Structure 1
Amino acid sequence: MRTRSSTPALLALSLGYFALGTASLAVIGLSAPIATDLHVQSATVGTLVTVFALVFALAAPAASIVLGRMCRRRALLLGLALLVVGDLGSAAAPSFTVLAAARVAAGLGGAIFGPAASAAGSMVVPEEQRPRALATVFAGMTAATVLGVPLASAAGGTIGWRWAFAGVAALTAVAMALLLWLLPSVEAGPAPTARVFGAVLRTAGALPIVSTTLLVMTAQFVVYGVAGAYLAARFGAGQTVVSLVLFVFGAVGMLGNTASSRIYERIGGARAIAVALIGFAVAFAGLTVAPRSIAVAVAVFGVWAFFSASFMAPQQARLVELLPEQRGILLALNASALYLGMSLGSLLGSRLLPEVGARPLSALALLPLALAAAAHVASVRRGTRPKSGTEIPVLARH
């Protein structure tokens, strides 16, 4: 069990992740009112998700180096502060160009906060509790898909999209206050340098694990990135049914996230990832061959959601075990791969859906998934500890 003192801090970190996830995905539910107000097409508004994801992917590794000497609590607060600035800038944006710039600021904030939150969560608990701590922290991201995006969409239809962004900014400010109050001082660890960064990348198993994350997220977002259009074309779902399916996806995902730490403890990280990959394959194959039935769509999306949410915590735990002293760099790389995969998968899905149709789309998602399986096998063969020949420079703590 987690210690009593660590639980409030983990929940505060989870709330910050919830704010981050909502900020990154809220545009999906607000595209129509934004397009109308700023006189652009809905498809153009959709590029804001890509902007956020690409900024996050590029900035997360750099932030781990530039801010490596900063204590983790201060880095977390800086990341959330930038998210507040980005969300308030979005709320006040007079044009689409300014809105895109505000999304860049929010993406930078997310790139600082996300990896630091995972690292801090793994450091405020004993080693044997790390998988559960990481699952608790990342549960905020899962919850954002259940509540954050639907609530932002509902707020956009009632009080307007600008107030919806303002609400996300207020929620982020609450997370800042709670972290300032509840999170104990967490040491920054060794200050990373280019030499350390290169050594981490050369560590046996590091790149295959991160590559697995990239390819898994690419495979998922080939379909999930265009979920509304996919469900309409594949199963004849209207907007109400699409909302229902996505809500079920998020709700079952919460169960998968909760179960992930128990799965990890029972069978270990490598096998937990293998089980998740098999679950993805079953779900994508099911979507490909399933009859045109809403009930079937809900069931298959539920299976997919469980394994999707049970994937990330074991993956992060494997990285922390790989190089505990350099967890910040590895988790930043993993977070970067996650958002890069989201961006790449969404781009592929939006391009392929009109060309090949809905049924083949889920079959095509099996291709990056197969590459993810190959990367996972490579990570297991190369081991989860650095080989004796791998030397990571030892640096002073700050």
Structure 2
Amino acid sequence: MRSSTPALLALSLGYFSLGTASLAVIGLSAPIGAELNITPAAAGTLVTVFSLVFALAAPLASVLLGRMCRKRALLLGLGLMIVGGAAAALAPDFATLTSARVLAGLGAGVFGPAASAVGSTVVPAEQRPRALATVFAGMTAATVLGVPLSASAGGVVGWRWAMMGVVVLTAVAFGLVAWLLGPITPGPAPSARVFGQMVRATGVLPMVSTTLLFMTAQFVVYGVAGAYLAARFGATQSAISLVLFIFGIVGIIGNVSGPRAYRRLGGALTIALALAGLAIALLALSGAPSSLALGTAVFAFWAFFSSLFMAPQQTRLVELQPEQRGILLALNASAIYLGMSLGSLLGSGLLPELGARPLSVLALVPLACAGTAHVASVRTPIFVRDRITEGKDHVRADPRLP
């Protein structure tokens, strides 16, 4: 049997380019603002634009493109990201740049859920947690290398060439996906009615809500990480880069550990552990002395439990209804980016008003709501539909799930 590892790595590279494209603006906002005569804060809204478009496009794409071969859907998404990225790099003004980000966000909304769905398809069921962790590792790696490298490149060759570098990376991912993946037959073609049934299916909303609120809690602080570290721990720009690099490295370790925790503890307990770890980190950020070394340690602790969450949560959703994994993973991807957007907006708006120390306490509010949603997903009996048709549904309990 042909190894699935090269294909999974190609999908991971696509996710790396997606993550870098979405977040690189954080490090490029100053040069973008200077050239286009806008404030850095206005340039920072380009992250929100990308995230919101992704959040809307991901579930819609699963319905509108449900009959398309999944390999073609992957290439379509990457192609839109390439065109949107190139248009952004060449944009003469902020309006054009914003429009280009919309196009790139649409491509990301097509590619991201399809990549996770394909990653869970090309391996046996018992290897799904590892496969999903491999694919999503690209997003984690983007926070380690993609964002810092884009910021550094922007300072050396300018923000336009930095963005064009991401376009080249996306083109490489396009070529590898085209080469390494064969045609992949889509699952049952979802209609709008089927989509609505899946949203209302027992257990889906609590799981997706957990993802949304977990990401919101994180990005209340992480969305303004540079300003937060400077205000809370007196970090210089070089120190901020180092802390975020450590955050990403430890995050990769957490991402790799997720499938192992899933096998040993089960999905429900692994998610509870991730929630508890983030709660401890946020409390520590609030109460710790203003020591940069201690702050770095807390950020590293946070990074591990943050990345422990994603692969097990995706696996739980896939096992909820394997035949409709495309819709479920699209909903989860939408929740990820919507949470990033909401958390970043809260953090950027409240940091100047409240200061750094209370900000991590505020993040505990959506995290507590995430815990409540997770408890609901565990306590509610989870059922799997053998098939969903326009006229009848057959439901059975799935003993594999908590």
TM-score category by the smaller chain? over 0.9
Q: CA deviation at 1:183?
A: 1.3
What whole-Å deviation, never above 9, does each CA across 1:32-54 have from its counterpart, x for those lacking one?
11111111110100000000000
What whole-Å deviation, never above 9, does each CA across 1:65-117 have from its counterpart, x for those lacking one?
00000010000000000000111001100001100000000000000000000
Q: Counterpart of 2:276 in 1: which secondary structure?
A: helix
Q: CA deviation at 1:391?
A: 7.1
Q: Distance in 1 between matches of 2:226 and 2:111?
A: 29
The percent identity for this pair of structures is 70
Q: Distance in 1 between matches of 2:99 and 2:144?
A: 27
User: Which residue, 7, 10, 20 being the options, matches 2:8?
Assistant: 10
Q: CA deviation at 1:4?
A: 5.7
Q: Counterpart of 1:365 in 2: which secondary structure?
A: helix
Q: Distance in 2 between matches of 1:344 and 1:213?
A: 13
Q: Distance in 2 between matches of 1:328 and 1:287?
A: 37
Q: CA deviation at 1:386?
A: 3.3
Aligned to 2:212: 214
Q: CA deviation at 1:354?
A: 1.1
Aligned to 1:202: 200
Aligned to 1:393: 389
Q: Counterpart of 1:142 in 2: which secondary structure?
A: helix
Contact between 2:193 and 2:390, CA under 8 Å: does it hold in 1? no
Contact between 1:87 and 1:169, CA under 8 Å: does it hold in 2? yes
Q: Distance in 2 between matches of 1:182 and 1:191?
A: 25
Q: CA deviation at 1:393?
A: 1.9
Aligned to 2:232: 234
Which is worse superposed, 352-361 or 376-385? 376-385
Which residue identity lines up with residue 232 of structure 2 in the other structure? R
User: Which residue, 128, 131, 140 being the options, matches 2:129?
Assistant: 131
Q: Name the CA shift for 1:391/1:133 in 2 (closer, same or farther; >3 Å).
A: closer
Contact between 1:199 and 1:391, CA under 8 Å: does it hold in 2? no
Contact between 1:318 and 1:384, CA under 8 Å: does it hold in 2? no
Q: Distance in 1 between matches of 2:381 and 2:16?
A: 33
Aligned to 2:97: 99
User: Which residue, 249, 259, 262 being the options, matches 1:261?
Assistant: 259
Q: Counterpart of 2:190 in 1: which secondary structure?
A: coil
Q: Distance in 2 between matches of 1:94 and 1:182?
A: 37
Aligned to 2:244: 246
Aligned to 1:329: 327
User: Which residue, 291, 309, 312 being the options, matches 1:311?
Assistant: 309
Q: CA deviation at 1:304?
A: 0.4
1:359-378 alignment, distance < 5 Å: 359-378=357-376
Contact between 2:115 and 2:135, CA under 8 Å: does it hold in 1? yes
Q: CA deviation at 1:394?
A: 7.2
1:63-78 alignment, distance < 5 Å: 63-78=61-76
Q: Distance in 2 between matches of 1:230 and 1:359?
A: 9
Contact between 2:119 and 2:135, CA under 8 Å: does it hold in 1? yes
What whole-Å deviation, never above 9, does each CA across 1:304-324 have from its counterpart, x for those lacking one?
000111101001000000010
What whole-Å deviation, never above 9, does each CA across 1:106-134 have from its counterpart, x for those lacking one?
00000000000000000000000000000
Q: Distance in 2 between matches of 1:244 and 1:39?
A: 30
TM-score by length of structure 2 reads: 0.96
The answer to whether structure 1 residue 51 and structure 2 residue 49 are counterparts is: yes
What whole-Å deviation, never above 9, does each CA across 1:282-306 have from its counterpart, x for those lacking one?
1000101001001111100001000
TM-score by length of structure 1 reads: 0.97
Aligned to 2:399: none
Q: Counterpart of 2:384 in 1: which secondary structure?
A: coil
Contact between 2:119 and 2:131, CA under 8 Å: does it hold in 1? yes
Q: Distance in 2 between matches of 1:194 and 1:149?
A: 37
Unaligned runs of 5+ residues in structure 1 are none
Q: Distance in 1 between matches of 2:294 and 2:71?
A: 45
Unaligned runs of 5+ residues in structure 2 are 392-402
Q: Distance in 2 between matches of 1:136 and 1:61?
A: 22
Tell me the number of residue pairs that the alignment of Structure 1 and Structure 2 aligns.
391
User: Which residue, 291, 294, 297 being the options, matches 1:293?
Assistant: 291
Q: Distance in 2 between matches of 1:258 and 1:145?
A: 15
Aligned to 2:397: none
Q: Distance in 2 between matches of 1:18 and 1:290?
A: 33
Q: CA deviation at 1:161?
A: 0.6
Which residue identity lines up with residue 278 of structure 1 in the other structure? A
Give the RMSD, CA atoms, in angstroms.
1.3
Aligned to 1:282: 280
Aligned to 2:394: none
